[in-house]
Structure 1
Amino acid sequence: MEQAEKPREPSAMSRSTAIAYAIGLPLSLLELIFLPAGTIAWRPGWIFLAVLFLGFGTSALVLARVNPIIYRARSRFQAGTKSWDKALLAVILPAMAAVLPVAALDAGRFHWSTVPAWAVLLGYIGVVVGIAVTGWAQAVNPFFEPGVRIQSERHQRVISIGPYRFVRHPGYIAALLLFFGMALALGSFWALGPAALAAVLLVLRTCWEDRLLRAELPGYNDYSNRVRWRLVPGVW
């Protein structure tokens, strides 16, 4: 009997790339927030960064214990990522990043909008819940990659535990919470504009990815019949 081929996991990130990420990401966040704000002393920016680093730092420590392969899976776009997904991400990612400088220009420098305290608190709740949900999804799903493709070399299978018991794309609802939560947490209604653009394209991505999985991932049709909702239970 012919032995089944072993799954081929993605290669680890090089040490230099890991160092570049570790240094570059915090510096980029500082630039995106404090340069538009016009001052390094903008207190809401520091509070926001503290919450962000605490949330994602805690998530990273948990993932390192329960699903360390996720760091390889998410380290880069893998071969076979769909061209339509790359095109969508070419707009989604800049729109998501634009939330920060637009919010900083608004709330930190020009004060175009006045966001009540309850809405800021709601924003922080969205950020924290978004981090928790995406961390939960990554903890149970080793195939949680940044690009849309069928991971045949990894023997991709349907994941139906954790948050996948309730919706088929929990990582996307987490992203939506983060998009809008970041804008409100930084105290800006204007930043809801790029958040909304990123959200619309992410919903489109959900539809197209779902269609791909139904057509090409064994067992996904049965799973989608059991778990009817893509993003929000009882809604869609």
Structure 2
Amino acid sequence: MKTALQSVASGLFGFAFFAVLLFVPAGTVNYWQAWVFISVFLVAAMGSSIYLLVRNPAALRRRMHAGPTAETRTVQKFAITGTVAMVVAVLIVSALDHRFGWSQVPTQVVIVGDILVGVGLGIAQLVVVQNSYAAATITVEAEQTVVTTGLYGLVRHPMYFGTLIMMIGTPLALDSYWGLLALAFGLPVLGVRIFDEESMLEQELDGYRDYMAKVHHRLVPYVW
């Protein structure tokens, strides 16, 4: 029951978070692109939460234990803070872009953006199904083992790959090209998080070094 209530509270917080950061800088609630984006995001996120609540509550608890204060490594605290700042910047810049008409984004591109948001979130959530130890914080538990199949057979960090797809789609879904520039400034932060995470896993998770030798790409298949 506690996990279910936390999940509902997380959904309500997510709605309020998006509403404030989009409708306030947009200067209006007559912003259909934002409403569709919020709907796509919350449906995808809550759908996966309901699935995990029924099938794997422990994995859901790991996913909800998030944020800079939940991290134990200084580098990760910095990385999460930077990531949150990037998300806020993308949302605000996109809303301002919509308000002042800096970009002219066709409806078809907006729809593509929403599809990317849904697909990216879907990939990120599928990772939790394939690896129940995939948490929002960087930790290694005593009974944890290396997952090498499924999405983990393509890249070493499939959750971040899904998140990247979602973030690329976000400005487009919100009627903005300028939001992509705000996203670009946050990509190095993601790189820092990945390098530090791999350093820890290589030292603390048995078999991870062999996995790194087998799966060469960190984030994007056949690219990096």
Q: TM-score, normalised by structure 1?
A: 0.84
Unaligned runs of 5+ in 2: none
Q: How far apart are 1:235 and its partner, in Å? A: 1.7
1:157 to 123, 145, 150: 145
Alignment of 1:207-218 (within 5 A): 207-218=195-206
Indicate the RMSD between aligned Cα atoms, in angstroms.
2.3
Measure how far apart 1:208 and its partner are: 2.0
Moved more, 112-121 or 161-170: 112-121
TM (normalized to structure 2)? 0.88
TM-fit CA distance, 1:226? 1.8
Task: Name the SS for the 2:57 alignment partner.
Answer: coil
2:76 is aligned with what amino acid? Answer: D
Q: Do structure 1's residue 229 and structure 2's residue 186 form an aligned pair?
A: no
Measure, in 2, the Cα distance between the counterparts of 1:80 and 1:232: 25
Whether the 8 Å contact between 2:3 and 2:61 is mirrored in structure 1 is no
2:178 is matched with 190
Structure 1 position 64, deviation (Å)? 2.7
Residue 83 of structure 1 and its aligned partner are, at CA, apart by 1.2
| CA distance 1:79–1:131, change in 2 (3 Å) | closer
Q: Select which of 18, 32, 38 maps to 2:21.
A: 32
Distance in 1 (alpha carbons) for counterparts of 2:91 and 2:174: 8
* Structure showing the higher helix proportion among its residues: 2
Sort the Cα spacing of 1:128 and 1:25 in 2 relative to 1 into closer, same or farther, 3 A. Answer: closer
Look up the SS of the partner of 1:59 in the other structure. Answer: helix
- 1:41 deviation in Å? 1.8
What percentage of residue pairs aligned between the two structures are identical?
Answer: 33
User: Contact between 2:15 and 2:38, CA under 8 Å: does it hold in 1?
Assistant: no
Partner residue in 1 for 2:161:
173
Q: Deviations over 1:104-160 (max 9, x none)?
A: 1111x11112223443233223212101100110112121122223333xx221112
Q: 1:102 aligns with which of 87, 90, 93?
A: 93
In 2, the alpha carbon distance for the partners of 1:183 and 1:157 equals: 36
Q: Which of the residues 136, 139, 156 maps onto 1:146?
A: 136
Q: Could you say which residue in structure 2 is the equivalent of 1:5?
A: none
